[in-house]
Every structure is written in structure tokens, then in C-alpha cells.
Amino acid sequence: MWYIRVKEYFKGDVPISRPERAIVCFMPRATIVVDVTHPEEIAACDEWFAKWTPRLTYRSENQGCGCCVNIWDVVAPDEALAALPANIKGH
């Protein structure tokens, strides 16, 4: 008998249901990189998250150190990613 282990996906502390997991696999992704020594990047990032957080399918925890850089991976609709300011969109 074979067993398959399913990786759990979360929004915050809440597990994402199976149908939402499928959406995560097929929606566009981006990485947001903010240099914390540039206040304009922090402001642009805060404004973008304030506007688009309700539409995000996934937002990682901050993967940066926080002292010099903040980094998030996001899964969102095309229009949300198109609205990302160029100076905070990672490659």
C-alpha cells in the first residue's frame, strides 16, 4: 500500500482548504524585496499590502533579516502583481 503525504498550506495560522491549495499552484507569484534603509520603499510596500492583502492567496512570513531587508513571497491575481512598484519587485 502506498501513502502520499500532503503538505499543508497556511494563511497565517489557518490551514488553507484543498480547493484553495489548487489556486495557489496556478496563480502568479512574485517576491517583494524592500531595502529598509530606503523609506520610499517601505512606504510603497506598506501601501501595496494595505490595498492588496485581501486579494492575496498567499503571503509568506518575512524572510529577510528585518535589519536591512524585508522579503516576502506572494501569490496574487495578475492585477495585484502588475500594481507592484518596480523598486520593490524582486527578480
Q: Where are the domains of the chain?
A: 28-88
Output DSSP code: residue 54.
G
| 66 contacts 36 by C-beta, under 8 angstroms | yes
Nearest to 10 by CA among 75, 59, 62: 59
Question: What pTM did the predictor assign?
Answer: 0.71
pLDDT in tens, 62-78: 999 999 999 999 999 99
pLDDT in tens, 12-30: 555 555 555 555 557 789 9
Sequence-separated (6 or more) residues with CB below 8 Å from residue 57: 20, 23, 24, 27, 75, 76
Helix (H) or strand (E) holding 39: helix 39-52
